[in-house]
Structure 1
Amino acid sequence: VWSPEMKSWAMGAGLPLLPRLLLVLGAAEWALGAQRRYTPDWPSLDSRPLPDWFDQAKFGVFVHWGVFSVPAWGSEWFWWHWKGEGSPQYQRFMSDNYPPGFSYADFGPLFTARFFDPEGWADLFQAAGAKYVVLTTKHHEGFTNWPSSVSWNWNAKDVGPHRDLVGELGTAVRKRNIRYGLYHSLFEWFHPLYLLDKKNGFKTQYFVFGKTMPELYELVNRYKPDLIWSDGDWESPDSYWNSTDFLSWLYNDSPVKDEVVVNDRWGFNCSCHHGGYYNCADKFQPSSLPNHKWEMCTSIDKRSWGYRRTMSISEVASESEIISELVQTVSLGGNYLLNIGPTKDGLIVPIFQERLLAVGKWLSINGEAIYASKPWRVQLEKNESVWYTSKESAVYAIFLNWPENGVLSLKSPKTTSATQVTMLGIQKDLKWSTNPPGGLLVYLPQLPPSALPVEFAWTIKMMGVE
């Protein structure tokens, strides 16, 4: 609001017209900028529009990698199960495989990343069709995959790889125009300052201001992430974590303020309620279309996020399971974040490579129905296992089961005189007819399975339907 003195000066006699206009325009621009600032409270922060790139991306790759990749047994929660819970199974594993007195810190130098090839990883993620990659910068064990200034001698530069893993992968994926996200755990199981705050009923914040916040500001300023995937929030509220102050800085003044996306894990009261997009829970799958942007995160290894040496093929998600989940997730307006766990040496084992490449091959044919798509007015026809997406004037029906008679019955689309039907990956138009109860019958191409564009989850594209 301008004071009377300012108005009088700006519009005063003798001031040329152009400077007066510039002053007024400048004030208007300043006012708009002021309105766009977000205050450190959820009503303000939740009002920020989600940057468009995230909804358009649809598919990303999650990477769980850290010191837990050294024992590579049980899961990435190895240290907690061994020392936090005191699990006899984990204690027996240690006594059978490591000398007496071996500590978790002793795993650090064994996390060598000797064969870590960020360019090779990025090539694989690009071939998988991923539009964003999320790397664990720090899991609940506290080891940082970058040279953190507040994690002395427990980071990838001081111990183990002696490399900046976060920086190297970021450089490689960005060369390929893939967005780069950083997973970060707010808490650490055994950090003395965290345990002190916990003992104090989270009335003190020694850990937050000595560890968590310096890490987050450092990650943003140094690596300029497109996404921050927060975790480890479930023991205390966002007020303990100082989450709203951090997010207001992130949205207002950080180097990534216009493009950055965050999830909803900023305190035990936030999940599925506050933040950028919602994770809600690991492997979250809504049964109907949510009214807020969301993401399903899941892992190729059904039993772990980190690499396990004892993983068996029966515990690995199949190609059809993964693609079916991707289709269902996108149809319901979500993004699909698929996790792999590299080895301590930095290798992505062949079965994980194979699954990622299978997704990429499928997307190379059907990506038109996935990337930048929107949910249609109907998402699912249960009887036929058909999922719908849409983009501009096109409607896509992705069917998971090939009908025995070669005729696909679609009940939801309403045909018009301009209706045209094709299958992605096949050039010719398909024959169709109206279905008496409503909808249409699509006569699928009579081809041997080897001649079909993909092995499962085929896409019908319809133009001129309502």
Structure 2
Amino acid sequence: MDKAVVLVALAAVFSSGNCQYEPTWESIDSRPLPEWYDQAKFGIFIHWGVFSVPSYGSEWFWWYWQGRKLQSYVDFMQKNYPPNFQYQDFAPLFTAEFFNAKQWVDIFSASGAKYIVLTTKHHEGFTLWGSKYSWNWNAVDVGPKRDLVAEVADALRANSNLRLGLYHSLFEWFNPLFRQDAASVFTTNKFPVTKTLPELYEIVTKYHPEILWSDGDGDAPDKYWNSTGFLAWLYNESPVRETVVTNDRWGYGTICKHGGYYTCSDRYNPGHLLKHKWENCMTIDQKSWGYRRDAELKDYLTIEDLIKTLVETVSCGGNLLMNVGPTHDGRIAPIFEERLRQVGQWLAVNGEGIYNSSAWRAQNDTVTPGVWYTCRPNDNIVYAVILQWPDSGYVTLNVPLVVEGKTEVALLGYAQPLKWQLLKPIGLKVFLPQLPYGQMPCSWAWTLRLTGAT
């Protein structure tokens, strides 16, 4: 074959995304992150499972009760449940009788999120789909008697443009096969071979998620989980190989080091730009990922807190994954719904500075606290998000480079251009409109668009 023909053929293979990845971290980590994920910026995390039945303390209820035997959990069970009650007895009470997938999707769409991540299996091992690898410990065999993952996936695709993400825990606290492997210091691997990996292949081929959110390594290394082997299949052969995005929790030592994007830790918010794409997964209820009946109003983040976290995260190049915990009967509590709809109201006005934006050369202002930046470099636009409305009637921005007669400043949601004054050696003073508080565009944070600024 002619050399030129060979080169053209090779170029076609690589440009079409058909590059074959080897089961090594060097190869896996070389895969470019699908562009849609960086553009999306905001997603919804959903923690739902048998732990939603006791809905006390934490989604780690089983472990705190039977693993660590924390006194508060032991007392809770002795006070409220009969003797010899087992954690497995909660499963028939996980009824989901009020679960309406379309209603969930309507709320998630109203939030302005671009993707969701649903827990298909937490560390308790209970699967929200009828997994043939989790006999009688899944939502089809016991409890709802329904494939909850399928209902969410179908409603999502029929009624929204949201992308589907699925969470899956690698290990299970009390699974005897995992405990046997752990006792051998992971020199045996019966649990991942017969349970974890088959489940992963199952949810990918059945539901086609575009995010696979792995978690819970159980202190076992990635080689025990055969993570690179699975990811090579995911990127080379799976039905979502072109668009799927993965995180960094694929075995002990991989977090914040390997994978499509980094999570580093729960509620990770570094406050500065990272070299690698990252995600801040956090909770509206500050004390738990699952629903808690014992939650107090002060435990929930305010809308101002949530907008601040979103803005800081996106300014530093991250995505925000905001968690809600539904009830055992399938409801999203009104306080969660209110917070999500409020975020959506803010994004309806200010989303131009969030979606499809890029991190700017400066993340926040060096003079005025509470001002965070994003940009659209191809359009020569800088966005400045103001977290607190100044009493002075103006805001000073020390970082942007502007030119009189060329730079235009606008407040998103306000029709008239704003007046501004050039400061030396650099920066500008922007005069804000004097509007009654109720007439300000979405009064939780405000976004300035600086066109013709660098």
Fold similarity call, TM over 0.5: yes
1:149-298 → structure 2 map (5 Å cutoff):
149-175=132-158, 176-298=160-282
Instruction: Work out which of the residue numbers 350, 354, 378 in structure 1 matches 2:334.
Output: 350
Q: Per the alignment, do residues 418 and 21 of structure 1 end up closer, same or farther by CA in structure 2, a change over 3 Å counting?
A: closer
SS in 1 for 2:309: helix
Pick one of 378, 381, 393 that aligns with 1:394: 381
Whole-angstrom distance in 2 between the partners of 1:178 and 1:286: 27
* Aligned residue among 445, 448, 451 for 2:433: 445
Match of 1:63 among 21, 31, 46: 46
Residue 121 of structure 2 corresponds to 138
State the aligned residue count: 449
- 2-structure distance, mates of 1:57, 1:389: 14
1:465 counterpart SS class: coil
Residue 460 of structure 1 corresponds to: 448
Query: SS where residue 407 of structure 2 aligns?
Result: strand
Distance in 2, matches of 1:183 and 1:34, equals 25
Q: Secondary structure at the match of 1:348?
A: coil
| CA positional deviation for 1:403 | 1.2
Change (3 A) 1:86 1:314: same
Partners of 1:279 and 1:24 lie apart in 2 by 38
The amino acid of 1:415's aligned partner reads: V
- Report the Cα distance in structure 1 between the residues aligned to 2:6 and 2:442, rounded to whole angstroms: 61
Q: CA deviation at 1:50?
A: 0.2
Tell me the CA shift for residue 252 of structure 1.
0.4
Q: What CA distance in whole angstroms lies between the structure 1 residues aligned with 2:334 and 2:14?
A: 55
Pairwise CA distance, 1:32: 7.2
**Are 1:143 and 1:151, in contact at CA under 8 Å, matched by a contact in 2?**
yes
1:88 and 2:79 aligned: no
Runs of 4+ in structure 1 deviating by more than 6 angstroms, as ranges, are: 20-24, 31-35
C-alpha contact (below 8 Å) 2:407/2:452 kept by paired residues:
yes
Deviation, 1:29, is: 4.3
Q: State the shift of 1:287 in Å.
A: 2.7
**In the alignment, what sits opposite 1:17?**
none
Amino acid aligned to 1:398: V
What are the superposed Cα offsets for residues 119-152 of structure 1, whole Å, 9 maximum, x if unpaired? 0000000000010000000000000000101000
> What SS does structure 2 have at the residue aligned with 1:380?
coil
Inter-CA distance 224–379: structure 2 relative to 1 (3 Å threshold): same
Query: Is the CA contact (8 Å cut-off) linking 1:384 and 1:409 kept in structure 2?
Result: no
- State the TM-score, normalized to the length of structure 2: 0.96
Greater radius of gyration (CA): 1
Q: Deviation of residue 40 (structure 1)?
A: 0.3
SS of the residue corresponding to residue 72 of structure 2 reads helix
CA distance in 1, matches of 2:283, 2:307: 13
Are the counterparts in 1 of residues 18 and 236 from structure 2 also a CA contact under 8 Å? no
Q: What is the CA deviation profile of residues 229-279 of structure 1, one whole-angstrom value per residue up to 9, with x for unaligned ones?
A: 000015111001100000000000100000000000001110000000000
When the two chains are superposed, the root-mean-square deviation of aligned CA atoms in Å is: 1.7
For normalisation by structure 1, the TM-score amounts to 0.94
**Post-superposition offset of 1:436:** 3.1
Unaligned runs of at least 5 residues, structure 2: none
Change in CA separation of 1:321 and 1:25 when aligned onto 2, cut-off 3 Å: closer
Q: Write the deviation string for residues 208-237 of structure 1: whole angstroms up to 9, x where unpaired.
A: 001000000000000000000000015111
Query: Take 1:427 and 1:380, find their aligned partners in 2: how far apart are those partners?
Result: 26
Q: Partner of 1:233: helix, strand, or coil?
A: coil
Residue from 405, 425, 429 that aligns with 2:417: 429
Q: CA deviation at 1:173?
A: 1.5
Aligned residue in 2 for 1:15: none
Aligned position for 1:4: none
| Worse-superposed segment, 380-389 or 307-316 | 380-389
How far apart, CA to CA, are the structure 2 residues paired with 1:347 and 1:221?
A: 28
The residue type paired with residue 274 of structure 2 is P
- Contact 1:423/1:460 (8 A) holds in 2: yes
Q: Matches of residues 350-389 of structure 1 in structure 2 within 5 Å?
A: 350-381=334-365, 383-389=368-374
8 Å Cα contact 2:303-2:444 kept in structure 1 = no
CA contact (8 A) 1:64 1:135 kept: yes
What's the counterpart of residue 73 of structure 1? 56
What pairs with 1:101-140 in structure 2 (closer than 5 Å)?
A: 101-140=84-123
Q: Name the amino acid aligned to 1:194.
A: F
Letter in 1 for 2:374: T
CA distance in 1, matches of 2:127, 2:17: 36
